[in-house]
Amino acid sequence: MPRRPSRRAENIIPQSEPTENVKSESESEDEKDPVPRKINRVKGKAVQAKKGKASGGAKRKAKPADDEESEGEGAAPAKATKKRKTKQEKSAEDMPIVARTLVNSLKKPMYIGAHVSAAKGVHNSITNSINIGGNSFALFLKSQRKWTSPPLAPEAKDQFKAFCLEHQYDAAKHVLPHGSYLVNLAQKDAEKAKQAYTCFLDDLNRCEQLGIRLYNFHPGNTGKEPRQEAIGRIASQLNKAHKATKTVVTVLENMAGSGNVIGSTWEDLRDIIALIDDKSRVGVCIDTCHSFAAGYDLRSPDAFKQTMEGFASIVGMPYLKALHLNDSKAPFSSHRDVHANIGTGFLGLRAFHNIVNYEPFQDLPMVLETPIEKKGADGKVEEDKTVWAQEIKLLEGLIGVDPETDTFKAEEKRLSDVGAEERKKFQGQADKKAKTEDKKQQKTLDAMFKKAAPKRKKKVPKEDDGDDSDASQGSCGSC
């Protein structure tokens, strides 16, 4: 039996309003609480049960993310199982890990969630988001391991729209699908470029079928071709995709900056946007780990302000459509994309206090992509969704909080201590890499100087002459 995660989010900064009593909140009809009523699935239709029962959807044994997502391609809603469950089992499955916080109860309207599974059908992503208390979410619209996938099942599309409406998710504003990792819109090879475009366009069409307006993707890789040429190819593919669709906004994600990846600088994003014909159809998603790894500091209020002023000046705030919230296991400007749990990495809790209290981020989807894999009692790695539930409450609890209070500082230290060993490990790797690069650079410089140095001419000994010899020895001419 896999270990069932705890149903309470512990060690988090308290909220201004309690959110753990699911029953009392779900019964409040006047507040239009987004905590769901129980959902029964019969022959592909959602049936509401009596008021006052919260639902988070059935929990399954965790699978690796890629395997799990591949099952959600075009699946119709799963039919109810014939095997009967005990009352205790049903109660445990129907209860979300935590209740969703009413966004209008927060001091700033921040829509925080996570990248959840869409296994067995896209409609299940909503149930999974509710389960962790998310007010926004990301998902994969099809398998990440295949170029082609079956179309979305009509029943899954209908349930996705119905669930969004029922549970008050604005699909056009707060749902952020993630693009396929296979796609590289900067691809130069004609056949591969066509394959990438077809896969990309298929996702955009899925978005429009579901009423989703934002679609996040990685810009691409130069493939050792000139950067500006690669940027031109990305823009060309986007322009073509925009003409083939009606409403979806293609959202460029900033990158950490390793290898030939495009998008690690604000200038890269600016240059792509500059070539887009319909600029209302393009935007940017800032990933906090990627930004930090690429050399954009978010840790102190001053550093955060400088980074955001740079983004506003170079790219433009109107283009900002979403955020990915991740701490970083790797140190600043390391160009390594290694996500850490909130407050445990090199960014630290103060960076996320800056983020959730920044007014221009209001009403944007803010999506966690932090690690949730843990070893169970049997030694097997499984996913613990409680991690996301806790992090959502933690981030919501930072809104409007004074970071100079003892409560904040204690939580900041606790989380920092949790990640101390990992930070030490990655700092050691960074230091070792820096030393290696310094040695390589020194060798290169030495070779350059050696090559540039003029060759010395061989000295030809002069013939001795008596007078010269005497003079050289300081002889006196009068002797």
Active site positions, annotated = 145, 178, 181, 218, 253, 287, 290, 324, 337, 339, 369
Q: Of the candidates 421, 218, 435, which has an alpha carbon nearest to the alpha carbon of residue 329?
A: 421
Q: Any residues with CB less than 8 A from the CB of 278 and at least 6 apart, and which?
A: 239, 242
Pair of tokens at residue 264 = 């690690």
Rounded-to-integer distance, Cα 440 and Cα 446, Å:
10
What secondary structure letter does DSSP report for 372? -
Q: Exposed, middle or buried by CB within 10 Å (0-12, 13-18, 19+), for 190?
A: exposed
Q: Of the candidates 291, 230, 215, which has an alpha carbon nearest to the alpha carbon of residue 257?
A: 291
Torsion angle, CA of 19/23/24/29, rounded to 10 degrees? 100
Can you tell me whether residue 367 is helix, strand or coil?
strand
Q: Of the candidates 321, 334, 337, 310, which has an alpha carbon nearest to the alpha carbon of residue 286?
A: 321
Rounded-to-integer distance, Cα 94 and Cα 38, Å:
7
Q: Please, are residues 81 and 89 in contact by the beta-carbon 8 Å criterion? A: no
What secondary structure letter does DSSP report for 107? S
266-274 vs 301-314: helix crossing angle, rounded to 10: 20
Q: Residue type for 79, please?
A: K
Diameter of the chain by CA atoms? 132
DSSP letters spanning 82-140: SS---HHHHHHHHS-SSPPPPGGGSSS--EEEEE---TT-TTHHHHHHHHTT-SSEE--
Q: Any residues with CB less than 8 A from the CB of 67 and at least 6 apart, and which?
A: none
Rounded-to-integer distance, Cα 78 and Cα 74, Å:
12
Rounded-to-integer distance, Cα 323 and Cα 340, Å:
16
Can you tell me whether residue 270 is helix, strand or coil?
helix
124-131 vs 154-166: helix crossing angle, rounded to 10: 30
Rounded-to-integer distance, Cα 137 and Cα 365, Å:
7
